[in-house]
Amino acid sequence: MANTAVVVDESSANPWGGGVAPMKASYGKLMMWFFLLSDAFTFSALLITYGMIRYSHPAYEGAISDFAFSQEYWPIPEMVFEAVPFLHGVHAPLVFVGIMTFILILSSVTMVLAVEAGHRMDRKGVEKWMLWTIIGGITFLGCQAWEWSHFIHGADMSKNVGSNLIQGANLSINQYGPSNFAALFFFITGFHGFHVFSGVVINFIIFYQATVGILERRGHYEMVEKVGLYWHFVDLVWVFVFTFFYLV
């Protein structure tokens, strides 16, 4: 075989022998998919850990209207996350986190539109939609910064634990419930927020490359597609965090 010149028939060629894209996806896209798969494992592990730890604590039993924060049982998320900026003292359960969810979904949509524009070699379109995506990402990060700050500094409903007045949260104790509650909040939303942050940075780099014409000279906008995959994944993770951390 080694010294015979063969005319390789494309259809029967070994897809793993090189020269062709196995699974009809380019190397970069395929590797992005496998990276996202491994990242999905990490996030699954975090969320399942949340489920396990929550399940190993007693749940609050009683009417929602009588609910009070206690270290004895796991808090009801909608009683913890009920603040909205500029509306101090207004009980608006899950409203702010709902707004954040819509912002992230919208920025995912603008990312699809950027990829679509890239397929058509429409540089102006790529620039416009990438910019909207970046703005959406930054807005989401700003919202999360506010939420963290509010969570750390605490709600008006302070709680006496032993002789100490507890307000807000840190890694060892918090006013909302068992210490694991705050620890998991910081870990899961923090890890997701860091993904959003790196997504914004990567999006900006590709936006810059599109703007100065690097991608156009390259002849294709596949980089937009690859960072698009990452960005959608970040949105996907948020969908799960929203359900399992805030709704259930």
Partner 1 sequence: MEQENTQVQVIPADKAKIRKIWRVALILAVVTAVEFLIAFTVGAGAFRTWVFILLTIVKAFYIVAEFMHLGHEKKSLIWSILLPMMFVVFLIFILMYQGAALLEVLY
Work out whether 121 is an interface residue with partner 1 (CB under 8 A): yes
Tokens found for residue 33: 């998919």
Tell the smallest beta-carbon distance from residue 149 to partner 1 (Å).
Answer: 24
CA angle 141, 147, 148 (to 5 degrees): 90
Reduce the DSSP state of residue 54 to 3 states and report it: helix
Q: Which is nearer to partner 1, 102 or 158 (CB)?
A: 102
| Min dist. Cβ of residue 174 to partner 1 (A) | 19
Among the listed residues 158, 186, 162, the one whose alpha carbon sits nearest the alpha carbon of residue 172: 186
Classify residue 163 by burial, with Cβ atoms within 10 Å: 0-12, 13-18, 19+.
exposed
Give which of 224, 239, 12 is closest to 118, Cα–Cα.
224
Q: Helix/strand/coil (H, E, C) string of 187-211?
A: HHHHHHHHHHHHHHHHHHHHHHHHH
Give min distance, CB of 78 to partner 1, in A: 7
Which structure tokens are listed for 184? 């998991």
What is the size of the binding site for partner 1 (CB under 8 A)? Answer: 59
Nearer to partner 1, 5 or 23 (CB): 23
Pick the closer one to partner 1 by CB: 98 or 154. Answer: 98
Q: How far is the CB of 2 from partner 1 (least distance, A)?
A: 29
Q: Candidates 81-89, 100-108, 135-143, 158-166 — which segment interacts with partner 1 by CB under 8 A?
A: 100-108
Cα-only R_g, the chain = 23
Neighbours of 166 (CB within 10 A): 18
Tell me if 11 contacts partner 1 by CB under 8 A. Answer: no
Say whether residue 27 binds partner 1 (CB under 8 A). Answer: no
For residue 176, the minimal CB distance to partner 1 (Å) is 17
Nearest distance from C-beta of residue 208 to partner 1, angstroms: 18
For partner 1, give the closer residue by CB, 40 or 152.
40
Q: Rounded to the nearest 10 degrees, how much is the dihedral formed by the CA atoms of 111, 112, 116, 118?
A: 30
> Is residue 142 near partner 1 by the rule CB under 8 A?
no
Q: Which residues bind partner 1 (CB under 8 A)?
A: 22-25, 30, 33, 37, 40-41, 44-45, 48-49, 51-58, 76, 78, 93-94, 98, 101-102, 105-106, 108-109, 111-113, 116-117, 119-123, 125, 216-219, 228-229, 232-233, 235-236, 239-240, 242-243, 247-248
